[in-house]
Chain A
Amino acid sequence: MTSTQASPDTLSALDRPNSYIGKSVPRPNLDRLLQGRGLYVSDIELPRIAHVVFVRSPHAHAKIKGIDASAAKRMPGVIGVVSGEELATVITPWVGVLSHLKGLKSAPQSAIAIDRVCWQGEAVAAVVASSRAQAEDAAELVSVEYEELDAVTDMRSALDPAISVIHASLGDNLAFERNHEAGAVDQAFAESDEVVEAEFVFGRHTGVTLEPRAVVADWNAAEARLTIYQGTQAPHMVQNIAALHLGLKESQVRVVCKDVGGSFGIKVHIYADEMATYALSKLLRRPVKFVADRVESFNTDIHARDHRCKGKIGVKRDGIITAFEIDDLTGIGPYSMYPRTSAIEANQVVNLVGGPYVTKNYRARARVVFQNKNVMCQYRAVGHPIACSVTEGLVDLAAMKIGVDPVEIRRRNLIADDAYPCASPSGLRFEQLSHHAALTKLVAMMEYDALRAEQASLRAKNIHRGIGIASFIEVTNPSAAFYGVGGAKISSQDGVAVRLDAQGSVICQTSITEQGQGSESLTAQIVGSVLGVSMDRVRVILGDTDNTPYGGGTWASRGAGIGGEAALQATKVLRKNILDVAAAILQSIPGELDIVNNAVVNVADGAPRVELSELARIVYFRPDTLPPGIQPELMATRHFVPREYPFAFTNGVQASWLEVDTDTGFVKLLKHWVVEDCGTIINPQLVDEQIRGGVVQGLGAALFEKCVYDERGQLTNANMADYLVPMAGEMPDIDVGHVISPTMESELGAKGAGEAGTAGAAAAVTNAVNDALRPFGTIVTEIPLTPQVILTALGRI
């Protein structure tokens, strides 16, 4: 691990004697999880709790002719069997569109299907019983009569006039289209020495959180209040949406988020079955619990990345890239997801292609079509793996064509580190990136030249190893530009309240959430550092709309950059308030006092003056001894949102070293390197582990993961035995290095790091496979890179 300390002169409030910033301290409160004593939603039980199981459609597209629940209702323990029509009396349907995605359309979606099902796995009835087993028994007896309809499954033909339209009211199966043109593309291609084209194909895959989605909804009829226990990344968003569709005020809905068994964007959405669970609790006036089983997870957790993208690059003989052009097509299932919509990934692809490079000539088209498969939406690194694989694949193809080394072509085309601020051809504004510094560091870490020599010598022994490089940019710290401007009630700001309690301990409430990334730790590190107290005195409260400030939560690599800055600013105010009181008690002036190691001390000589516990005792229990006119405020709240830049872009570069068995088509990953720049690093170990975890999700996409649908829209591998995920045995060690360019938008200077790993991993692997296959004169541009794909490319099958 190579990590560099942030430069102290940019971090005045944090550069303190006992600063935790830049230190790899362990996360607080891990013992709960290490001892199996966490509280995940699936662990929660309440008095009179009932369990819901959904009867789901076996067809991709069908009319519901009738539902006979009479036998199911007679089963032991059954409390109710509820159809979509019955549930519609308590919950309204929704349409997943946002106004800033111009032209995006979708159809009304109900919590439980009414009259028609549009994908295999859509719920058609809810069975509620005293136990899950009883509900499952009864669900088997719910008889649903279907009339099968034509299923639209292949995205390539979804727009053909001969293909049926899924939602007649929409006119066609086109959900969204975006065209973008910058510079002089045709002229640039005409003046290029070489133009290379390829079609890149990305397998539809999914998040496979180890804890499936789960909800406990508890409607208290006497309080007229709904408490939702859910492993969500965005509690206030859930509060807003649940209230809106149940006809409640937001104040009537509390969302509590305890431990979350993996999220990765899967749990940042609101699913129809979750809406149904909220509604069932209200309808049945009792707590209702829904825990998806693994088959349901595969059939209903959002999928992502089902893209086919044609790409074109122009290059001069001297290695200068002249233009990029893409035509991207993606199928999102029958509905745009709610409330974030399913146009964001394609939109991101348009935004991000060519992003690391100097050329301003860029043409892009992206089309998003409906199909009768499970819904697609935002999953970790939304759009980035596609944009990065297309861009970096094209760059390598161009390099190959003109005979330039992959590192060298990047050196000649990456935006110079001193060229900022500047903008990408798609109009994205970059504050400060460090592509060249990152590439230089990567080349040194991986000993690039030695590796090339090793590759050449092994080639002579018929061992085919490859090196793949992929530069990338990552969207982090999103402002209101992401969702708010389009009308979504998804906050882009976050708030932190911090207070000194009576024994001198600190309670900090934050609106960002924890799913294991380390939100609790980074908040405690910042509060402890700014205030001058030890981390073990800081207790962080998150994930409860009744007990935290209002805010966005943890997604889009925003927790540290936005929530962290709010924590910093709130704690600065608390520190000032404490020093004001201390000065009054000590007959000093605030400027002569500091807080170090849980005590107020003299700035001049560091001599301790009063312990924080003693100060708190005086404030809370003997305010009568304070000078007249002093009203201490030992609690402070601050909020933060970036205003200058819509997104704080980060950058980095990845490299993969692997071996292809040209007889079997198997790929063995040998080593992976990442250098990234997320600005100020609060906890190097946590950042590195975000990178590593993200890389491995990208490696899964590169080599294994694919939701395999047949031509009738049936998902054929909806279980963990057939859908392959990365396991310990196949994964390489990953070296992580950093370049640090803090954002000037905040005092903290932190940008996000959660998605960088996923953004570039598949591109690096694909480029490495093509590098290994070079002697065979073949190219692969499809992931996952299964043995079948590789052997087909080699002409062996």
Chain B
Amino acid sequence: MTATIEISLSVNGERVEANVLPRLNLADFLREHLKLTGTHVGCEHGVCGACTVRVNGDIVRSCLMLAVQAHDATIETIEGLSDSGEITDLQAAFRERNALQCGFCTPGMLMTAQDLLKQSPSPDREQIRDHLSGNYCRCTGYQAIVDAVETTARARTGQSP
């Protein structure tokens, strides 16, 4: 049996030390070791976007990254972004617009949408659709999500909704 490897990282502002098998992916590490189950596993091969988390400020598919690669990294998950208040307005816009149904894609969708709004504060609908095009949602048909992101962008930049 392969030996475990010691890793040390920051997850949602907390220091985490762990011994993990080299094959363990970051999504499973977050879910099974840290019980941060807001990071969802949908396809396990980097297509659906449900497992999107932030690693050192960039969004990453945590099913395609090994936990050992996160050594010394700063990880933020949906739980962290929720508690810090960073996306409170975006979450409210999703709630008001019913931009989620089953909610399984939602953490990844919020991560990706916030990433867009940080890079591009006033995206048009096509840019929003383009940036979200790697996040699969089977319930909404996407329009409500695009609306919610657009509303948040306008509010953040002081434009009328």
Contact = CB atoms under 8 A, between A and B. Distances in A.
Interface string B90-109: 01001111101111111100
Interface stretch (A153-161, A455-463, A690-698): A690-698
Interface string A209-222: 11110000000000
B45 A516 contact: no
Interface stretch (A398-406, A444-452, A656-664, A725-733): A725-733
22 contacts: A26-B96, A27-B95, A34-B82, A34-B100, A34-B110, A35-B38, A36-B36, A36-B78, A133-B23, A210-B50, A210-B102, A210-B105, A693-B101, A693-B138, A720-B47, A720-B48, A721-B47, A727-B133, A727-B142, A728-B135, A730-B133, A733-B125
A43 B107 CA distance: 14
A294 B104 CA distance: 15
Contact of B103 (A38, A689, A757): A38
B42 A294 contact: yes
B132 interface: yes
Interface string B124-161: 01001110111111111111111000000000000000
A261 B103 contact: yes
Nearest to A694: B141
Interface in A275-322: 293-294
B60 interface: no
A697 B132 CA distance: 18
Given A36-B39, A720-B136, A721-B45, A516 B142 contact: no
Going nearest first, the 6 A-B pairs with the smallest beta carbon separation are A36-B38, A33-B103, A516-B101, A261-B104, A696-B141, A36-B78
A76 interface: yes
A31 interface: yes
A516 B136 CA distance: 16
Given A36-B77, A211-B102, A696-B142, A725 B91 contact: no
A358 to B, nearest CB: 33
A82 to B, nearest CB: 24
Given A210-B40, A696-B142, A725-B136, A517 B101 contact: yes
A208 B138 contact: yes
Contacts of B133: 727-730
A42 interface: yes
Pick from A212, A262, A517, A733 the residue with the most CB of B within 10 Å: A262
A518 B95 CA distance: 12
B107 A36 contact: yes
Pick from B48, B94, B104 the residue with the most CB of A within 10 Å: B104
B105 to A, nearest CB: 5
B5 interface: no
A200 to B, nearest CB: 24
B79 interface: yes
A719 interface: yes
A719 B43 contact: yes
Pick from B95, B103, B110 the residue with the most CB of A within 10 Å: B103
A419 interface: no
Nearest to B83: A35
A40 interface: yes
B138 A210 contact: yes
B1 interface: yes
Given A693-B101, A697-B138, A757-B141, 10 more contacts: A34-B94, A35-B82, A43-B37, A133-B23, A261-B102, A294-B43, A518-B98, A693-B141, A720-B45, A728-B135
B44 interface: yes
Nearest to A685: B98
B68 interface: no
B91 A260 contact: no
A696 B139 CA distance: 9
A682 interface: no
B143 A692 contact: yes
B38 A210 contact: no
Interface in A650-698: 685-686, 689, 692-697
A794 to B, nearest CB: 28
A516 to B, nearest CB: 3
A727 B143 CA distance: 11
Interface residues of B, number: 56
B11 interface: no
Binding site of B, secondary structure by majority: helix, strand, loop or mixed? loop
Nearest to B110: A34
A30 B95 contact: yes
A65 interface: no
Contacts of A730: 133
Interface of B: 1, 21, 23-24, 31, 36-45, 47-48, 50, 77-79, 82, 91, 94-98, 100-107, 110, 125, 128-130, 132-146
Contacts of B48: 210, 720
A392 interface: no
A37 interface: yes
A341 interface: no
B129 A33 contact: no
A208 B43 CA distance: 10
Contacts of B98: 26-27, 518, 685-686, 689
A36 B37 contact: yes
A139 interface: no
Contact of A34 (B41, B44, B103): B103
A42 B41 contact: yes
Pick from B95, B96, B130, B141 the residue with the most CB of A within 10 Å: B141
Contacts of A762: none
B106 A34 contact: yes
B13 to A, nearest CB: 16
Contacts of B96: 26
A264 B91 contact: no
Contacts of A26: 95-96, 98
A133 B1 CA distance: 13
Interface string A229-256: 0000000000000000000000000000
A734 interface: yes
A691 to B, nearest CB: 9
Contacts of A262: 101-102, 104, 138-139
A515 interface: yes
Contact of B141 (A31, A211, A695): A695
B102 A31 contact: no
A692 B100 contact: no
A693 B139 contact: yes
A37 B102 contact: no
